[in-house]
């Protein structure tokens, strides 16, 4: 009976990831509609609209189209054009109209998936000459349990670490650490731009790679408005092969750094210009992050290597680059980056802790597509906006460009709910999508509320990396490793 249960779980994991005809999701059975559509509301073709699948090229690093499973219904194409508002819009010559957000993998679970990279992790673990370092993003800890029929929003942080150690990963680190570094740099950059009365305002967040690629494709004139700070995952990569390697006495070239993320766009992001560690070490061919896996791929990897996630013993993150503040934790939520940045910006500006309402900044929380607020930082007031879901971004951008609305700081995330609703997260039956997002959001907010350290600037590990290695925010070394030119 025990073996039968194991087989059932393996079949469940594969079907929930690949999108078979009948799927078990969050303990319920959901029958895929023709052409998929289990995770999103069905969009019917309009009269005269072109049918057929999205033209996903084989070299797309984020997603792939399985033609042998495709019913040629065209709903994925219509979803991307009408809901996500990416496909069908003009792009620069030679570019694809794809931002890698992966929302189509939730809409058509039958024929579109992420590009699979998890076999490379198994190979690295089996190589005695490799040191495998895995870094987990905030949002996967409240989503991976869905793949094992656990209640939505269950925090499985300890089990993730334990399962990865059982798999053979040498070091497991927490990206909330680098989320705090992102905030240190981004809050400092925001205040610098405000002090200098910079022309490139408002400043846009830059931690979502699907969003920054959207700007690259459709609004290139706004590239200077993007923060120059890298995403937490790529900051983590740069420091794993410099600071971490140095402290641990590991040769950087022996490290295979694996990012475990809720995101399909990370697969593209890690490939282009993310080699700051290699450049600083005179080895520009060395990537900061070698492999990016989605949350769904983690379950496939563990399943194929016969690691029983439900039986895995909880284990702690490593003591170096393994702890973040509550502010770093809420990076996974829409509005979380804004809230985290404003907490630290207040302290940097005033030298004192922010008022208690900054620890639960309700004006930027929630699931409304766009939230607007005026936030008092003491001797300065900021007009801010938070937007999630790439399909609602265009009207906000146009209102900023034509002067209808004026902001100092804007957080944008491509996926509904932010990273907790990322393109690489477990597929959820359409009837449960909103509730599942709410539970994941609340789980990360609860984790934040339970932390002793609530501000990124107060994280002892962040203070240590600046004191021992980086120098200061926006300093020369920080600029080289943690920032990127977006022009």
211 vs 107, more confident: 211
pLDDT, greater one: 8 or 425? 425
Q: Is the pLDDT reported for residue 110 higher than 80?
A: yes
202 and 65 part of one domain? no
Yes or no: say if 466 and 472 are a contact pair by the CB < 8 Å rule: yes
What pLDDT does 52 receive? 85
Task: Please check whether residues 275 and 338 belong to one and the same domain.
Answer: no
Residue 48 is assigned to a structural domain of this protein: yes
Its pTM stands at 0.89
115 vs 293: CA distance, rounded Å: 9
Identify the H or E element spanning 341: helix 336-350
Domain end: 68, 86, 114, which one?
114
Gap between the Cα atoms of 18 and 331, Å rounded:
27
Does residue 487 register a pLDDT over 70?
no
Report the percentage of the chain scoring pLDDT > 70. Answer: 89
d(CA 89, CA 87): 6
Q: How many domains does the chain have?
A: 3
282 and 171 part of one domain: yes
* Average of per-residue pLDDT across 458-475: 97
Q: Is there a domain that residue 457 lies in? A: no
d(CA 43, CA 51): 12
Helix (H, G, I), strand (E, B) or coil at 30: strand
Tell me which residue range forms the domain holding 244.
118-177+232-324+463-482
Q: What is the pLDDT of residue 199?
A: 86
| Res. 192: pLDDT tops 50 | yes
Do 401 and 380 sit in the same domain of this protein? yes
Backbone φ, ψ for residue 23 (5° rounding): -125, 145
Tell whether the model's pLDDT for residue 20 goes beyond 50. no
Q: What is the pLDDT of residues 29-51, one digit of tens each?
A: 222 232 333 444 444 444 445 67
pLDDT at 480 over 50: yes
What residues contact 188, with CB distance under 8 A and at least 6 apart?
Answer: 348, 473, 474
pLDDT at position 49: 53
CATH of residue 281: 3.40.50.1780
- Would residue 42 count as lying in a domain? yes
Alpha carbon of residue 178 to chain centroid? 12
Q: Tell me: do 67 and 132 sit in the same domain.
A: no
One domain, residues 341 and 276: no
Neighbours of 10 (CB within 10 A): 15
User: Is the domain of 215 the same as that of 340?
Assistant: yes
Summarize pLDDT for 310-336 with one digit per residue, the tens. Answer: 999 999 999 999 999 999 999 999 999
Residue 436 lies in a domain: no
SS3 247: helix
């Amino acid at each position: 009976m025990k073996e039968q249960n194991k087989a059932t779980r393996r079949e469940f994991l594969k079907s929930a990831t690949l999108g078979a005809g009948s799927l078990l999701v969050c303990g319920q059975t959901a029958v895929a509609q023709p052409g998929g559509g289990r995770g999103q509301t069905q969009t019917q073709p309009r009269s005269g609209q072109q049918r057929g699948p999205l033209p996903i090229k084989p070299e797309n690093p984020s997603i792939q189209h399985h033609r042998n499973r495709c019913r040629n219904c065209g709903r994925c194409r219509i979803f991307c054009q009408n809901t996500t508002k990416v496909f069908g819009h003009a792009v620069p010559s030679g570019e694809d109209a794809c931002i890698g957000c992966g929302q189509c993998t939730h809409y058509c679970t039958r024929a579109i998936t992420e590009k699979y990279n998890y076999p490379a992790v198994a190979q690295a673990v089996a190589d005695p000459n490799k040191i495998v370092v895995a870094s987990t993003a905030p949002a996967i800890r409240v989503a991976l349990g869905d793949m094992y029929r656990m209640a939505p929003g269950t925090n499985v942080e300890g089990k993730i670490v334990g399962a990865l150690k059982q798999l053979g990963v040498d070091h497991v680190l927490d990206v909330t650490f680098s989320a705090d570094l992102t905030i240190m740099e981004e809050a400092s950059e925001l205040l610098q731009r405000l002090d200098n009365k910079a022309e490139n305002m408002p400043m846009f967040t830059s931690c979502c790679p699907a969003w920054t690629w959207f700007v690259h494709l459709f609004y290139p004139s706004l590239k200077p408005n993007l923060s120059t700070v890298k995403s937490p995952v790529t900051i983590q990569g740069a420091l794993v092969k410099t600071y971490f390697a140095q402290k641990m006495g590991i040769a950087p070239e022996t490290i295979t750094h694996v990012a475990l993320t809720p995101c399909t766009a990370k697969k593209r992001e890690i490939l282009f210009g993310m080699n700051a560690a290699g450049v600083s070490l005179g080895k520009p061919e060395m990537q900061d992050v070698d492999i990016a896996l989605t949350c769904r791929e983690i379950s496939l990897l563990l399943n194929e290597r016969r690691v029983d996630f439900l039986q895995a013993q909880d284990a702690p993150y490593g003591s170096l680059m393994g702890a973040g503040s509550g502010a770093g934790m809420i990076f996974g939520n829409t509005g979380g980056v804004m809230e985290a940045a404003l907490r630290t910006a207040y302290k940097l500006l005033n030298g004192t802790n922010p008022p208690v309402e900054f620890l639960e900044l309700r004006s930027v929380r929630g699931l409304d597509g766009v939230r607007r607020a005026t936030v008092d930082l003491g001797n300065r007031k900021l007009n801010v906006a938070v937007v999630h879901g790439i399909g609602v971004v265009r009207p906000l951008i146009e209102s900023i460009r034509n002067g209808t609305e004026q902001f100092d700081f804007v957080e944008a995330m491509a996926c509904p709910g932010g990273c907790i609703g990322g393109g690489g997260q477990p597929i959820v039956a359409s009837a449960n999508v909103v509730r599942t997002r709410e539970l994941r959001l609340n789980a990360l907010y609860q984790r934040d509320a339970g932390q002793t350290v609530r501000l990124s600037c107060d994280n002892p590990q962040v203070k240590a990396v600046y004191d021992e290695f980086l120098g200061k925010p926006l300093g020369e070394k920080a600029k080289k490793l943690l920032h990127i030119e977006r022009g």
